[in-house]
Amino acid sequence: MIYDFTYCNPTRIHFGRKAMDKLPEELANYGKNILLVYGKNSIKKNGIYDTVMRMLHEGGKNVVELPGINSNPRYTQVLEGARLVRENAVDLILAVGGGSVVDCSKGISAAAYCEGDPWQRYWVNQEPVTNKVVPVASVLTMTGTASEMNGGSVITNEAEKLKLGRVFPLELMSPKFSILNPEFTYTVPKHQMVSGIFDIFSHLMEQYFSGDDDCTSDYLLEAVMLSLINASRKALVNPQDYEARSNIMWCATMGLNKILALSKTQDWEVHMIEHQLGAYTDCPHGIGLAIISPSYYRLIYKYGLPKFVRYARNIWHVNKPGLSDEQIALEGINRLEAFIAELGIPQTLREVGATEEMLPLIAESTIKGGGYHVVNTDEVLQVLKNCF
């Protein structure tokens, strides 16, 4: 079924080598008090911190800093940022980093003026946000999540061993502007680059593997998957290939700014399983997705066979004559697995620190859903065991 939709995304994107030149004019639209949120130390090493600070000071801003945001940002960091926002009457939260920093900034924005417990209200109960929020903007340094142009905020509550995603409305929480310079991603270590690449690929597949309508979104998703495979292969050979890094960056933004999902159903179960894997192991998000995906798709392909056949043919060019539909579908999943190996991503949960004892706990705490098939705890456990 093709669904009706309304779409409005307020993020202004500045893309390219000179994108940062736009930061001063963007900053001029906001008040004096800026909360600068960033990660551990990458932006200090590669000089982005100095550039941003110079522009903030030249713009006459008062800067409060929240450094040290973890990969898989913690709820305690959201609370710390919320306190800083209130105490300093912050006018703009500027996130400089990858998806974790941007997600955390949105969490801070929602939590700062929330009455009651923000974790319970906004991540567990998924209540609508009615309190004041503070505008968020980003300078992106690592690509994959599309947090730079969506309302997502995935937060890990260590005390509760839960990693929960919240998708705030785009109009409310999508960054007001995002600076995307592909050159900023050159210093991302290879294991993080491929993690980001697979995160993008997974977003595309999870929007694709549901519904069998003749749907424009599915054709668009195929096109972005093909572009991503092509660009990734080039970036593996030469990480400083501007064209390749820029295509990857734009595939990422397009991959989850919600345009490609319009009008269709989706299946986000791989993400649901990975989030709990992340809560237990703290593994890089895209690496976890890559380990789980072949195992998950081997479980569900039978329920959506025509789409898996289409995927095998259109994405992986499985054209060998004489194969049954089932063989074609399975060959498509084999090629996906081969692509993951080509990216140099580990293929077992052991390699990211999972233990056998963790598997039932992860399976139990995973939010269950699906597209062609709705999974239960035993099936999630089987998926995990098959890639352990």
**Using CB under 6 A as the criterion, which residues of the chain lie in contact with ligand NZQ when the complex forms?**
39-43, 46, 71-72, 97-101, 103, 141-142, 144-147, 150, 152, 154, 165, 184-185, 187-188, 192, 195-196, 199, 256, 271, 285
Contact 197, 347 (CB under 8 A): no
Minimum distance from residue 287 beta carbon to ligand NZQ (Å): 10
Minimum distance from residue 126 beta carbon to ligand NZQ (Å): 15
CA dist., res. 93 & res. 136, Å (int): 5
291 interface partner picked from ligand NZQ, Zn ion, none, CB below 5 to 8 A per type:
none
Angle at the Cα of 166 from the Cα atoms of 13 and 113, rounded to 5 degrees = 85
Residue with smaller CB distance to ligand NZQ, 72 or 276: 72
Contact 355, 210 (CB under 8 A): no
Judged by CB under 5 A, the stretch of 77-85, 135-143, 196-204, 349-357 that binds Zn ion is 196-204
State which of positions 332-351 bind Zn ion (CB under 5 A). Answer: none
Contact 255, 248 (CB under 8 A): no
Residue with smaller CB distance to Zn ion, 199 or 331: 199
Residue with tokens 């697979």: 198
Pairing mode of beta strands 152-157, 177-180: unpaired
Minimum distance from residue 203 beta carbon to ligand NZQ (Å): 6
Minimum distance from residue 202 beta carbon to Zn ion (Å): 6
Token pair, residue 156, equals: 């890990």
Is 26 a residue that touches Zn ion (CB under 5 A)? no
Residue with smaller CB distance to Zn ion, 182 or 288: 288
Task: State the DSSP string of 10-57.
Answer: -PEEEESTTGGGGHHHHHTTS-SEEEEEE-SSHHHHSSHHHHHHHHHH
Residue with smaller CB distance to ligand NZQ, 275 or 310: 275
Give the one residue of 199, 206, 218, 379 binding Zn ion; rule: CB under 5 A: 199
